[in-house]
Amino acid sequence: MLLPILHYPDKRLRTKAKPITEVNDAIRTLVKDMFETMYDAPGIGLAATQVDHHIRLIVIDTSEDKSQPLCLINPQIIEKDGELEWDEGCLSVPNYYECVTRANHIKVSALNEQGKKFELEAEELLGVCIQHEIDHLDGILFVDHLSKLKQRRLLEKTRKSKK
């Protein structure tokens, strides 16, 4: 089922997500719906916060052919190093892209949709995507990494387009 995606500056995007205490069928259904929504958008990552579910869940697929779905429940970055700039976009901030500085290499710990713990090392696009989506779970948008001037311009542009 396709889920509605919240758009900036919706205040619900600032909600800090709560940890998932039990990985059950309801969570697995949400994971399935989030993948469907992300692929349809189209995007490469989606946080539960963006579809108005304020729990620590993200889905990602950075492959060209949608063949590498990755679900991270209660993700935590446990190591990060290096620095890289990446041109980022966001399904909650449509048609807007800006260069953001992130860690180049990360190690993340999470649960999969069966509730099994795993660790994953990622860099470049996958690493950037994981960091971007974890930010969503903490109520942070990629535009928060931009200068105040760029943030103000985006807000004005967004408000004008809604009129």
Which tens digit of pLDDT belongs to each residue from 79-98? 999 999 999 999 999 999 99
Residues assigned a catalytic role: 133
Structural domain boundaries in the chain: 11-162
Give start and end residues of each alpha helix (H) in the chain. 25-40, 124-137, 148-162
Question: What is the pLDDT at residue 163?
Answer: 64
CB distance 59 to 45 below 8 Å: yes
The whole-number average pLDDT for the span 103-114 is 98
pLDDT in tens, 13-27: 999 999 999 999 999
77 near 106, Cβ under 8 Å?
yes
The stretch 70-76 carries a mean pLDDT of 98
Task: Kindly report which listed range (39-43, 92-96, 147-151, 156-160) carries the lowest average pLDDT score.
Answer: 156-160
In this structure, which CATH number among 3.30.70.360, 3.90.1170.50, 3.30.360.10, 3.90.45.10 belongs to the domain 11-162? Answer: 3.90.45.10
pLDDT (0 to 100) of residue 61:
98
How far apart CA 135 and CA 130 sit, in angstroms, is: 9
